[in-house]
Amino acid sequence: MHLSQSNSFVEDEEILYRSVRLADGGYKLENGVYQISSSAFNDRNMQPSVDRAQLKNNNPEQSRKSKTDCVVSLKTLEIRNETIERNEINYILDVKPDPTDENPAHAIVVPSPEYKNEKAFRKVKERLARIATVTLTPIK
């Protein structure tokens, strides 16, 4: 198996997909520009799910959950380059494989150490929304 398809590590160069729902307030379209909301990266466990593009045949369509969703792309290295300092704690972000039977491409964005509260995670969501690139627009 090529290293980039390993189930134990996500390479820095890997592209990640996330399906962003319109109905849940994940994005808005204004003057032809998609604005990604920080809510697009909501996760109760504060570990947003993503799909590893290489394990989706680099086809974002395979990550789309509904026709009105758009799919955004993120670069693993950009996420790993982030550190968040809050209340004298430095959080480092990582992307870890989390394959499931239904979705072998599944990975999660995790902090180290775990967030003490939601405030640091809110900043991460904001940051993820800013670096996310719309790769697939909704089907009209």
* Least distance CB 104 / other proteins (angstroms): 19
Comparing CB distances to other proteins, the nearer of 5 and 122 is 122
* Least distance CB 73 / other proteins (angstroms): 16
* Least distance CB 26 / other proteins (angstroms): 7
Comparing CB distances to other proteins, the nearer of 12 and 123 is 123
* Least distance CB 41 / other proteins (angstroms): 10
User: What's the chain look like in SS3?
Assistant: CCHHHCCCCCCCCCEEEEEECCCCCCEEEECCEEEECHHHHCCCCCCCEEEEHHHHCCCHHHHCCCCCCEEEEEEHHHHHCCEEEECCEEEEEEEEECCCCCCCCEEEEEEECCCCCHHHHHHHHHHHHHHCEEEECCCC
Of 15, 5, 19, the C-alpha closest to 99 is 5
Comparing CB distances to other proteins, the nearer of 97 and 122 is 122
Comparing CB distances to other proteins, the nearer of 36 and 136 is 36
- Contact positions vs other proteins (CB under 8 A): 21, 24-26, 28, 35, 37-39, 42-45, 49, 65, 82-85, 118-119, 122-124, 126-127, 130-131
